[in-house]
Amino acid sequence: MRLSDSEMLSLAKSFGLDTAFVLPPTTSRADIRIRYFVPDHEMGVSGHATIAALTVALELGMISNETVRVETASGMFESRWKRRNDDKVVFTVEQRAPSFGLEMGADEVSEALRIHPDEIDTSKSPIQSVSVSRAKLLIPVSNSMVLDAISPDFDAILKLCERADVTGFYVFTRMSLQDRGDVDTRQFPYRAGFPEDAATGVAAAALAAYLARYDLDYREGENTFQVAQGYAMGAPSRIEAVAICSGHKIVGTSIRGSCRIVGKDIQIKPR
C-alpha cells in the first residue's frame, strides 16, 4: 500500500507519537528506507524509532543480514543486530561523531524549566548544544527529584530551541535512581505535537559523547552509558548509548537496545 506524505502525517497525528514508515530504498547502497513523522512534521531520523522499525522489519522478513544499511532523510546509517541466548534481538544503530555547539546560561534555561538556577549543576559540564544527527540542548540537573518535578514553560522552551537551533531540551542527572542506570533523562521536544518523549535515541547518543568528553576526558575505546528515560511520565525506557574515543577525540557514537512488538495487523485504509 502506498501512502502520501499527508497520510503519513495524519497517521502520526492519530497515534500521537513518533511514527516510522518502512519503505523500499531509493538507492542500491541501502537495504531499507525509513521515514519518520511526529504529529507536527516529518523528522530526518529518530534513533529509538529506527530500532523499533528494524525489529518489525526483521520479524516480517524484510531484512536478514546482520548488518543493515538504513536510508533516511538525514542520510545513511548502519545498524547491526544480534539475537541473544534469551531470543531477544538487540540492535545497534550508528550515529555520527558529535558536534559541540552553543553553551547557554542557567538563568534563562531554569526559567523555561521552572526550576531554581541552583538546581542546574554546571560544576562538571555546561549547558550545551550537542548533535550526532539532530542537535539537542543538554542540561545537567542536580538529582532525579529535581528532574521528575520539572513542569516546563513550553512556550519558553520553543523560543530557546529556536535561538539555540536545537530540536529539544534533553535534561539529565548523573544521580540515577534506576537499577543499573548511569543517567536519568527527560526530553522536551521542539514542535513535535506532544510535550515529552519516553525515549530519544539521537539525544542519548549526544549525551554519551558529552559524558565521554566532560566526565571521562575522552577515555580511549568504547564508552557505554545506560540512559533511563520516560520514568517521570510512566513510560520507562532504557537505551545503551555509546561514544567511541581515539586520539583524545570522539570518533563515533551509537545507540543499542531492543523492543517488544505489542500489536500487529493494524488495518490502515488509504484515502
Rounded to whole angstroms, what are the CA distances from 230 to 105, 170, 197? Answer: 26, 12, 7
Reading the block at residue 174, the C-alpha cell is: 548523573
The proportion of the chain whose per-residue pLDDT surpasses 90, expressed as a percent, equals: 92
Domains 5-95 and 99-257 share a fold: yes
Rounded Cα distance between 111 and 60, Å, is: 47
pLDDT at 94 over 80: yes
Question: 62, 104, 108: which is closest to 81 by C-alpha?
Answer: 62
Domain 99-257 has CATH 3.10.310.10: yes
79 strand-pairing partners: 68, 93
Q: Which CATH class is domain 5-95?
A: alpha beta
Q: Locate cell 577515555: which residue?
A: 219
pLDDT at 270 over 60: no
CA dihedral (161, 162, 165, 167) in degrees, to 10, reads: 50
Question: 188, 52, 206, 194: which is closest to 113 by C-alpha?
Answer: 188
Residues in the chain: 271
Cα 199-205-209 angle, rounded to 5 deg: 145
Number of neighbouring beta carbons within 10 Å of residue 78: 14
Rounded Cα distance between 24 and 120, Å, is: 45
Convert the pLDDT of each residue in 129-179 to its tens digit.
999 999 999 999 999 999 999 999 999 999 999 999 999 999 999 999 998
pLDDT for 176 equals: 94
- pTM tops 0.85: yes
Q: Is 169 left (phi over 0), alpha (psi -120 to 50) or beta?
A: beta
Long-range Cβ contact pairs of 13-21 (< 8 A, separation 24 or more): 13/39, 13/193, 15/39, 16/193, 16/194, 17/194, 18/43, 18/46, 18/48, 18/49, 18/197, 19/49, 20/46, 20/49, 20/50, 20/52, 20/53
pLDDT at 63 over 70: yes
pLDDT at 1 over 70: no
Across 43-69, average pLDDT: 95
Question: What residue segments make up the domains of the chain, in order of their start?
Answer: 5-95, 99-257
Q: Are 73 and 49 in contact (CB under 8 A)?
A: no
Convert the pLDDT of each residue in 99-128 to its tens digit.
999 999 999 999 999 999 999 999 999 999
